[in-house]
Amino acid sequence: GAGVSQSPSNKVTEKGKDVELRCDPISGHTALYWYRQSLGQGLEFLIYFQGNSAPDKSGLPSDRFSAERTGGSVSTLTIQRTQQEDSAVYLCASSKDRPNTGELFFGEGSRLTVL
């Protein structure tokens, strides 16, 4: 596709359930980011993948959050035992190079609502 694709666009789940959010970056982009944006807030960094390097997981808020990137392309963000405070828009972004040399292209986001 032409842009970053995320699915699902909307997810409503019950507290305690697990959810998986998917990101398909722009073809050829080596860097992939996950951010979280709560209503009216800025972007909270979660995790960063760059090529085959070990990911930077420093932004993951708890061990309920994990992410993987298979084959250097598609990434999945998994949230286990969801809590109401996990409700937010989860944004994925990719870039062709390391971010200090180029721009990030964002997907439309996955809106998660935990009841």
Partner 1 sequence: QKEVEQNSGPLSVPEGAIASLNCTYSDRGSQSFFWYRQYSGKSPELIMFIYSNGDKEDGRFTAQLNKASQYVSLLIRDSQPSDSATYLCAVVQAAGNKLTFGGGTRVLVKP
Give the interface with partner 1 as residue ranges (CB under 8 A). Answer: 31, 33, 35, 41-43, 45, 48, 50, 56, 58-59, 91, 98-101, 103-104, 106-109
Nearer to partner 1 by Cβ, of 86 and 107: the residue is 107
CB within 8 Å of 1: residues ≥ 6 apart: 24, 26
Q: Least separation, in Å, of the C-beta of 33 and partner 1? A: 7
Tell me the closest approach of the beta carbon of residue 22 to partner 1, in angstroms: 16
The Cα–Cα gap between 67 and 78 comes to 6
**Measured CA distances, 75 to 35, 40, 42, 112 (Å):** 13, 26, 22, 17
Least Cβ distance, residue 23 to partner 1 (angstroms)? 12
